[in-house]
């Protein structure tokens, strides 16, 4: 391990330092001239040249592209007929895809253009039923919470907090 500090100038004082210190292998903290921090931080040139990038060219890097303050979310407007068409189209697409897998004949289905949203929702069967339940997140530990017997519940029916254990 290279040391950047030195001991005493005089060998006599170096021997005294080694006798009086707890750990004589530690450095004194006096830096060696010419080795420690060369060149010195104050003597370095101060001319900084910024590296050129494609963003340095202001002719191709407009301010409105760089300005993130006005990068608002764009508003998308869908009418009820648009949503009804999307619902019926997705349902008919899934039906025709299922029929094409089972039979070789292709059937062309047309979507009515002026269908209302309530008709489209009534046309599509429900996604989930008692037999087909929606997906549930996987939980590693389950705990059955029980009402606590430590404190009595207040008789006020508006009390929404419950003590469980």
Question: Is the per-residue pLDDT at 77 higher than 90?
Answer: yes
In which domain, by residue range, is 90 found? 80-123
- Model confidence at 151, in pLDDT bands (50, 70, 90)? confident
The answer as to whether 107 is a domain residue is yes
User: In this prediction, what percent of the chain has a pLDDT beyond 70?
Assistant: 74
Distance CA 91, CA 106 (A): 16
**Pairwise pLDDT comparison (111 vs 103), residue with the higher score:** 111
Torsion, Cα of 82, 84, 89, 94 (10° steps): 140
- Closest by CA position to 113, among listed 145, 141, 152, 86: 86
Q: What's the pLDDT tens digit per position in 20-55?
A: 888 877 766 776 666 777 777 778 777 888 888 888
The answer as to whether 155 is a domain residue is no
Distance CA 13, CA 9 (A): 8
Sign of CA dihedral 114, 117, 122, 125: positive
Q: State the total domains in the chain.
A: 1
The answer as to whether 20 is a domain residue is no
The pair of three-digit structure tokens given for residue 103, joined into one six-digit string: 């039979």
The answer as to whether 89 is a domain residue is yes
The answer as to whether 147 is a domain residue is no
Provide, for the chain, the percentages of residues in helix, strand and coil under a 3-state DSSP scheme, each rounded to the nearest 5: 30, 5, 70
The answer as to whether 160 is a domain residue is no
Q: What is the pTM of this model?
A: 0.33
- Model confidence at 79, in pLDDT bands (50, 70, 90)? very high
The answer as to whether 131 is a domain residue is no
The answer as to whether 102 is a domain residue is yes
Question: Is the per-residue pLDDT at 105 higher than 90?
Answer: no
């Amino acid at each position: 391990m290279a040391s950047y500090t030195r001991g005493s100038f005089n060998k006599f004082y170096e021997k005294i330092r080694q006798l009086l210190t707890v750990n004589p292998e530690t450095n004194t903290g006096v830096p060696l001239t010419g080795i420690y921090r060369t060149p010195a931080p104050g003597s370095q040139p101060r001319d900084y040249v910024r590296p050129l990038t494609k963003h340095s060219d202001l002719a191709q890097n407009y301010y409105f592209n760089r300005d993130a303050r006005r990068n608002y979310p764009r508003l998308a407007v869908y009418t009820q007929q648009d949503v009804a068409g999307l619902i019926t189209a997705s349902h008919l697409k899934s039906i025709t895809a299922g029929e094409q897998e089972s039979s070789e004949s292709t059937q062309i289905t047309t979507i009515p253009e002026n269908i209302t949203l309530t008709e489209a929702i009534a046309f599509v069967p429900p996604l989930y039923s008692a037999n087909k339940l929606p997906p549930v997140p996987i939980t590693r530990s389950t705990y059955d919470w029980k009402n606590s017997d430590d404190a009595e519940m207040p008789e006020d029916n508006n009390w929404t907090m419950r003590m469980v254990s």
